[in-house]
Amino acid sequence: MSTAALTSAVSEVDSFDEDDRWAWIVDYLKEDGRYFEDKLHETYKESTDRVAKRVHDQGATQVGHLFFEFMVDETFWTLAFQDVGRLGNAPNWPWPERPTHRDMSQGLSLRYRQWRIDNNLSIDTAEFIAPVPLCTIAQPSLAKRQEIWEDIYGDKPYNEVVVGPFELGLPRDLDFHHLALGEGNEVYDKLRGLISPATALTWTTVDGKAASLIVGVDPKYEACNHYPYVRMEVRRLWLQICLWLKTVKQGNKVTVADHLANAVNSERSLARFDTFDV
């Protein structure tokens, strides 16, 4: 589809739907010969910084997600065409109607909150923390987790943090949204791509706060529950989740996905020393 055709079809895009809006922007850039993956990420980061600074300069410690993402995309558009914009030839931003910064229909912007944290600025914690959503991923059963626990650890007892078989109690003040879920679930989705498909990491909630993390065999793979290799994969993930929580408690606010990615990369880096000495 040409840029002219895309412009004609822009009315079909829900301007307040960030996924639809971004997909249209990417299509337009590709047709115009301006889509370069590395440059795109660099420009998007600059756009986020610019919008966040403007919001901060206006004295706001929090802002609506819908407004913030819209303004980042609009700023990105301006930067993407700034070379021809100086000559007055840049295409107009196709959606002149902006959401208001007070529009909280999609909650508060976690991206702006993280920007404030990264820049050592205060956050309005009491008003900002939204209830942790219920986990919609099928929970590994208690009976199956107990069976694996006894197989691997025997009668090893639980403690004040390990509150059940492969269940880790979480501090009440843990920033679960940022560290385990992420904007649009991006952290949790990344995590799912880093672990074995036979394993699952789920959570429980109490009074709108994350209460515990649970590691186990994904119920879809319950037929593999008795396989020793699968049980070792559960142990492997469990130990990494324990190490992640310990790291967070020590003050390192690394997301669970980034922690697992670092662990995978560390393990991969050792592969060069494999000798195949048979």
Domain ranges of the chain: 3-128, 142-272
Query: What is the H or E stretch that residue 71 is in?
Result: helix 65-80
Sign of CA dihedral 226, 227, 233, 235: positive
Instruction: Give me the pLDDT at residue 1, please.
Output: 45
Question: If you search the block for the tokens 């909150």, which residue do you land on?
Answer: 113
Cα gap 92→71, rounded to integer Å: 14
Look at the chain and count its residues: 278
In angstroms and rounded to an integer, the radius of gyration of the C-alpha atoms of the chain is 23
Query: pTM above the 0.75 mark?
Result: no
Of the CA atoms within 13 Å of residue 168, those in its CB half-sphere come to: 19
Instruction: Give me the pLDDT at residue 88, please.
Output: 63
In the DSSP assignment, the letter for residue 108 is: B
Per-residue tens of pLDDT for the chain, all 278 residues: 445 555 656 767 888 888 888 888 888 888 888 788 888 889 999 999 999 999 999 888 888 888 999 999 999 999 988 876 565 667 888 888 888 877 777 777 888 988 998 898 887 654 455 678 888 889 999 999 999 999 999 999 999 899 999 999 998 878 898 899 988 889 999 999 999 999 999 999 887 788 999 999 999 998 999 999 999 999 999 999 999 999 999 888 899 999 999 999 999 999 989 989 88
User: Could you tell me which of 24, 34, 4, 107 has the C-alpha nearest to residue 73?
Assistant: 24
Cβ atoms of residues 47 and 80 within 8 Å: no
